[in-house]
Structure 1
C-alpha cells in the first residue's frame, strides 16, 4: 500500500508539471512552466519590466502601484503572467484598484491606471542609458 501511494503521488506531480509546461501556465504552482529556465539571455539584448502607475484622488499623477502582497495582494508576476489579457482588456486593472481599496481604505485611492513597460538595453549584461517607456494600456477606475 505504501509504495503504490508514493507512486500515485509522484505520477500526479509529474502530470501537474507536464500540464504547466505544455500549457505554459502556473495554474498549479509550483508545478508551472519550466520555460523560464530553458534559455539563456543575450547579454547585449534587452530586458523588460512591467508595472502599473496610477493617478490618485488627491491629484498625484503616475504613482507606482505596489504589486505585492501588502500593497494590492496581487504580485507583479501575476500581472506579467497574464500580460496579454491585461493589454487586450485594460478593465482588468479595476481588480487591482479594488484590491488596493479593500486593503487600504484610508489611503488616497486610484482614479486612473496605466499599464507600463520599461525596456532596458543591455551591454555585457549591464543596463546602459535610460529605459524606453511604453504605455501598454490605461483604465479609468470605476467606483
Structure 2
C-alpha cells in the first residue's frame, strides 16, 4: 500500500484550505460570474410564488405584414443571447437591425423583415400555480428606415 509523503499531505491540505477559502469568500461576496466559487443564484433562490412568470420571444413583421417568430433555426441567434442583452436593445433599439440581418442571412428565401421586436409574455402565477391568464408586453421595437 502506497502512502503519501509528508510533503504530499501538506500540499493536499493547503489545496483544500485554499479551495475552502475561495468557496467561503464566493458565498459571502461572490456573484454568478464567480461560479463555481460563487453562488449560482438561478439554483440558490426561489421565485415569488405569487409573481408572474416571464417568457421572452423575438418576432418580426415582414414586408407583407405577417408576423414571423425569430428563432435560432431561422436567424442563428439563441433566445438567451437576446435576453442577456435585452437592456442594450432597449437603450439602442437600432441594434435590432442586426437581428434582421441575421434572419435574412439564415432565411434567404423568406420575405424581408420590416420590423423586429422583443416581446415578453407574462403568465399569471398564484400560490405557485398558473392562473391561466397571460398578456404580452412589447419591450422594444425597431422598424427598418
State TM-score, norm by structure 1: 0.69
1:51 — aligned with what? Answer: 57
Q: By percentage of residues, which structure has more helix?
A: 2
Where does structure 1 differ by over 6 angstroms across 4 or more consecutive aligned residues?
Answer: 30-33
Q: Structure 1 residues 36 and 93, CA, compared in 2 at 3 Å: closer, same or farther?
A: same
Q: How many positions carry a matched residue from both structures?
A: 121
Match of 1:124 among 127, 134, 140: 127
Matched with 2:140 is: 137
Relative to structure 1, the CA distance from residue 137 to residue 32 in structure 2 (aligned partners, 3 Å threshold; closer, same or farther) is: farther
What is aligned with 1:80? 83
Q: Structure 2, unaligned stretches of length 5 or more?
A: 1-10
State the 1:44 CA deviation.
Answer: 2.2
Two-structure CA RMSD over aligned residues (Å): 3.0
CA contact (8 A) 2:99 2:116 kept: no
Question: Any stretches of 5+ residues in structure 1 without a counterpart?
Answer: none
Q: For 1:77-120, what per-residue CA distance to the aligned partner results, in whole angstroms no more than 9, with x for missing partners?
A: 11111111111111121111111111111112211112211111
Instruction: Give the Cα–Cα distance (whole angstroms) in 1 for the partners of residues 47 and 59 of structure 2.
Output: 27
- SS at the partner of 2:58? strand
Q: Equivalent residue for 2:46? A: 40
Structure 1 pair 38–80 and aligned structure 2 pair: CA distance change class (3 A): same
